[in-house]
Amino acid sequence: MEDGKRHYSWRTVAVVLGISWNAICYSYSASIIGTTLGQPSFLSYMGLDRRSDKQGLIGTATGLYYAGGVFGCIFNSWMADKFGRKWVIVVANVILLTSSACLSGSASIAMFIVFRFFTGFSAYMLYLTTPLWVVELVPPNGRSITAGMVGLCGVTGYILAAYVGVGFFYLSSDTSAQWRAPLAIGCFPPVISLLIVYWLPESPRWLLSQDRETKAWEIIRRLHTIPHEDESGYAEAEFAQMRDQSETERLHNSSWSELMTNSFYRKRTILVIALPAIIFSTGNLVITTYAASIFSHLGYGSGQSINLLAGIYVAAVAGNLFSLTYIDHVPRNVIMALGTLLCTLVLGIETALVASCANPEAAHRGSLLSAAAAFIFLYLFTFNTSLEGPSWYYASEVFPTSLRTKGMTLNVISFALINLFWLELAPTAFATITWKFYLVFVSISVLGSAFIFFAFPDTLKQPLEKIAGMPPDGNELKNSHSIHQEES
């Protein structure tokens, strides 16, 4: 808030961490495919090392996860509004637990691909609902940090998957446990989530939409005040703002058509669809998913490639932790635009290094290989210092409660489709045009950064009700600025 005070306690942080655990459930399931594809025993068991259509099957096994995610998002948009955020988490984790177990027990590549679809279906329900739930729970001041914990937990899931893959890589390649066990370990995060979800509070904004005002107020009172400090006036003013917004929203259309027919929400819809298309056209998911293969193409052995894959996630975690020191002080459009440009710069240098390594007779090739590997680390660090956090929660900030799940659904579907596109294309592109594939990402990102800077509204430290802007009838909410006025 504008008074610079922290209006939440360690209890709020604990709740956010409990919800953010679901980001680990998502990211472990999303990234374990990277180490799985690098396990010799998996390629041998599935017969991929003997098939001419190996690259196509690898692309399908990767891409069907995101195709399932599209359908999961559509289902989620209905369920989250109908039954609340908590029940979405429960259902998604049950499906994820079941499909992860079936992945581990896959007897053929066809079975593996089918359950990758269902894993994506459930994981994307978590990817959509987790940041939305957190954003609806926390106060405006410090929201970048608390919501940023979702991104931090997401990267933690990536690093867990990577090091589990490393550990089992050194198991005898004669046994399928080398790749089955890491997939089976993916059952544990959803089990933990199902054990703790009972103690997590429902979104107060969803409760208000269901006429459960008393319960909503109790949650705001507990989570938006610091113990032993008299801040009830602040919490009451904030809650009044939420209540007024909720009452106003009931008077207006909250169907899918509102996102297209209302010019204000249509612009927001275009922006949240464009956001993942820009951010993840920097090459992030292609690099992280196929990192083991990329390192292999650079000349590193299988063991070295798997270890380097795990290492890049350490760089990512470092970037996320570093971002928490300033993320709540830099306007959203500035940090996302600047982050996109910096990633483009790093990837441009990486492209030049990889191109130089392509010549086996190149002078100092060993040094060039080491530098190329180092810049992949630097790329992941750069991405996570500026883009990882906002990529999770920005879209959930720019819509009113009545349209938030629908807007987030389109945002996450865009994320799934852009990654489905790039990941399906990547194996063939790397095999045919090699390092030139990176130039596509560089070109898109330069234009995308400018679009983000000039077109995206800044949501830093603003109440969600204020960010929602003018209601469709053009009348401002009577309390839309009350908190700022009282604190000034």
Decide if 319 is inside a domain: yes
Terminal-residue alpha carbon distance, the chain: 10
Q: Which domain holds residue 300?
A: 10-487
- Per the rule left: phi > 0, alpha: psi between -120 and 50, beta: everything else, 233 is alpha
Q: Which 3 state secondary structure label does DSSP give 51?
A: coil
Task: Compute φ and ψ for 237, nearest 5 degrees.
Answer: -65, -40
Q: Please tell me the distance from the alpha carbon of residue 102 to that of residue 105, in angstroms, as a whole number.
A: 5
Q: Is 177 exposed, middle or buried (0-12, 13-18, 19+ CB in 10 A)?
A: middle
Q: Quick one: which of 218, 193, 246 has its CA closest to 86?
A: 193
pLDDT of residue 38: 67
Domain count across the chain = 1
Q: What is the mean pLDDT of each run of 10 residues along the chain (488 residues)?
A: 63 94 94 78 86 79 85 94 96 97 93 94 96 93 89 90 82 80 95 97 95 94 74 78 88 88 93 95 80 72 77 90 92 95 92 76 70 88 93 92 93 88 80 84 93 94 80 40 38
Please give the biggest Cα pair distance in the chain: 73
pLDDT of residue 286: 80
Decide if 266 is inside a domain: yes
pLDDT of residue 471: 42
Decide if 5 is inside a domain: no
CA distances 415 to 85, 125, 220, 321, Å, are 20, 13, 31, 23
Query: Do 158 and 32 touch, CB atoms closer than 8 A?
Result: no
Decide if 365 is inside a domain: yes
Decide if 2 is inside a domain: no
pLDDT of residue 251: 82
Q: Which 3 state secondary structure label does DSSP give 239?
A: helix
Decide if 77 is inside a domain: yes
- pLDDT tens sequence across 123-170: 999 999 999 999 999 988 889 898 989 999 998 998 898 888 788 877
**CATH code of the domain containing 159:** 1.20.1250.20
Decide if 1 is inside a domain: no
CA distances 463 to 300, 459, 482, Å, are 49, 8, 11
CA distances 357 to 3, 306, 353, Å, are 54, 20, 6
Decide if 4 is inside a domain: no
